[in-house]
Chains A and B, each alone.
Chain A
């Protein structure tokens, strides 16, 4: 892991630093796959006027269980209390919060650049190699590259490409794996064995407007 002090938007994430100092935390929430839960969790942040810097929701290795990865910059005391409140939600199985040292994390970035610039300027090619970028779409008018990495890595290529007519840039939310989470994975599997997930009943009426009785 890189020293987080090099990231300009986050102060040093040192667990020994003052508890009243804001730092970057990644909250990982394991939940039932339930409609409306995203809102319930989101409003826990907005209620406390905490800005969510990044939010990712995805399935886990266990069917029916979702994983939220939420990045915020806050003081630890607030994060720890918030974490307990999140865990209190009925459909939340477990919630963890970690500083960057405790996790392996990545963000995906995509860059759209004019193809003629890429093909004509060797410097760009070298840049891409340097940043480990891959081409995911090549057309006569534009090419899309992707990189995966920490914020400062994807940001580095962004800054480097800017002078060459960057058309568009997008970066995903953070995904993170907690380094020390084997125990919970075992527990999750146990959960699933004992109580398999139920299928979420989606709304099957929304597309049947005229076929359904109305008053």
Chain B
């Protein structure tokens, strides 16, 4: 190997030659996998791949982000809105470590990603070389699988394996670390074979019929059956099957925030959001149902509250593709391992037509109480100060529930999840498991690339936006049509709410000063406006949505508004507080 090789290898592939270097083989593989968009940031150790990319720029669109964290959140947003695998490039060392937050976020939210990181030359591994970090070991706990390539001939096989692992079973992020010598090494390229089987990997558990029958029997016998659904429904592309399942016998169904939008918000069996800031009825009635059917959800502690007081009276049917989730937090009566696209119709077929209207009415009764005490004052506040909820309400009216809503993390996230309307699946993109502030803006950029025909609104708080505000630069350069709606309450609102409720209002470092967001946006060539009067709300939101291209709208909302209802930490879900 010498420098000459690198130059030769960079020449476009001719028909005669099947000699490629590792970088070209990588890009060829990405093309076969159907990749069209890559988010990334170059650097020394990944330069050969970027050099090869120069010749592929008409087939592979590369979005240069402003920080690798922005790159991986964008890839996440892309994957979540499109259902495809998100791809991100980063260089070694700091480039790779800047991906970690997003990898951890994708891992806990089961987002399929393939991360490609450059690495120092193989002969320098372990020498503390410039920008060397042991990224394979650093990412081991937060990747579904990872691998270090030190020889170019490994690249096609490893890449194929990576895509297979990322997108099958319970999806997740994988990382391939490629040493620089492997990127420039030439070899006889024999083509790219997609992978659909790995000996030691069983992505789809065999469905056991006896469990299907037991599950159906339990549901048939139930007087008060209650369905909880999570992102598994969306990841399994089982929205239709799920709808058929709940509709056959009229099962009330509540969602985790990652499951939101799997069925339309206004579906007659949709009884709302679960968990800490979820709706009153589904939380209270979790402790009253007799059969709890959990579909593609993992009983996160933000959903269950105190486990020892969670649905103790109920028999639990748990449908999940990941056997490790069964009995992890909540002991199931009947475990149904498998892809819910496969298992749901099997159960539905065995269900007897039943009428659960009376039981469903109980949800509506409690809902009325929540509407009166929480929802009505939130959506139609009496005072002059705007609430986050009323902003979302007007947004709903203007988008008709057709927009993709990407949120950051905090109070605005909970309010958006509670009040935003969704008509179609893959419309609510949020950081659920890791709760990553800074997720919203870059994920929205990615979501727009994943679903270019849809309106994408990033709803951010004043705190979270400032964690990745530099991604306005990506919007500026690549023109992603993202509407950024900032709900500014001059506080790190969620922490402040906790300090108010549980720490005697000792507001310790939650008062955050923000720049003039509109001016910042202007600096990036993005149009924007800031409002603090209710009278301007509708026109401002309309102006944002109608604007051709990216737009930033800042809305000043109540400083000390709280998100209710709330299940205080350490309490059971039936101890949910309305105020």
Contacts and interface: CB of A to CB of B under 8 A. Distances in A.
Contacts, number: 83
Given A31-B200, A92-B200, A201 B145 contact: no
Contacts of B283: none
A201 to B, nearest CB: 6
B122 A43 contact: no
A1 B524 CA distance: 74
Contact of A205 (B146, B181, B324): B181
Given A213-B1, A213-B3, A90 B145 contact: yes
Interface in B131-160: 136-137, 140-141, 144-148, 150-151, 154
B211 interface: no
A184 interface: no
Interface string A99-137: 000000000000000000000000000000000000000
A88 B200 CA distance: 10
* B: contact size bracket: 35 or more
Contact of B322 (A35, A81, A88): A88
Interface in A170-215: 191, 195, 201, 203-209, 212-215
Interface in A59-96: 81, 84-85, 87-88, 90-93
A92 B323 CA distance: 14
B150 A201 contact: yes
A213 B137 contact: no
Given A36-B137, A191-B199, A195-B199, A88 B154 contact: no
Contacts of B322: 88
A198 to B, nearest CB: 9
B165 interface: yes
B141 to A, nearest CB: 5
Interface in A36-64: 36, 39-40, 43, 47
A212 B199 contact: no
A212 B165 contact: no
Nearest to A85: B324
A146 interface: no
B199 A32 contact: yes
Contacts of A88: 322-324
A212 B1 contact: yes
Contacts of A35: 148
Contacts of A39: 137, 140
Contact of A36 (B148, B151, B179, B201): B148
Nearest to A42: B140
A206 B123 contact: yes
B200 A93 contact: yes
B165 A203 contact: no
B433 interface: no
B181 A91 contact: no
B200 A212 contact: no
A36 B123 contact: no
Nearest to B146: A36
A90 B201 contact: yes
A3 to B, nearest CB: 31
Given A201-B154, A206-B122, A213-B2, A43 B327 contact: no
Interface residues of A, number: 31
A92 B201 CA distance: 8
Given A90-B165, A203-B125, A206-B122, A32 B324 contact: no
B382 interface: no
A211 to B, nearest CB: 8
A206 B137 contact: no
A81 B200 contact: no
Contacts of A43: 140-141
Given A47-B141, A90-B201, A205 B150 contact: yes
B176 to A, nearest CB: 12
Nearest to A37: B140
B241 to A, nearest CB: 25
A197 to B, nearest CB: 8
B151 A201 contact: yes
B245 interface: no
B328 interface: yes
Interface string B158-182: 0000000100000000000001110
Given A91-B200, A92-B200, A203 B150 contact: yes
Contact of B151 (A31, A81, A204, A214): A204
A205 B122 contact: yes
Contacts of A201: 150-151, 154
A47 to B, nearest CB: 6
B44 interface: yes
Interface string B194-220: 000011110000000000000000000
Interface in B1-22: 1-3, 5
B121 interface: yes
Contacts of B147: 36
B161 to A, nearest CB: 9
Contacts of B125: 203, 206
Nearest to B201: A90
B307 to A, nearest CB: 13
A91 B201 CA distance: 7
Interface of A: 31-32, 35-36, 39-40, 43, 47, 81, 84-85, 87-88, 90-93, 191, 195, 201, 203-209, 212-215
10 contacts: A36-B146, A81-B327, A87-B324, A90-B165, A91-B200, A201-B150, A204-B150, A206-B126, A213-B181, A214-B121
Interface of B: 1-3, 5, 44, 121-126, 136-137, 140-141, 144-148, 150-151, 154, 165, 179-181, 184, 198-201, 322-324, 326-328
Closest 9 CB pairs of A and B: A205-B122, A84-B324, A90-B145, A205-B123, A195-B199, A209-B123, A213-B1, A93-B200, A88-B324
Given A32-B200, A214-B124, A215-B180, 19 more contacts: A36-B137, A39-B137, A43-B141, A84-B324, A87-B324, A88-B323, A88-B324, A90-B198, A91-B145, A92-B200, A201-B151, A205-B150, A205-B181, A206-B126, A212-B122, A213-B1, A213-B3, A213-B181, A213-B184
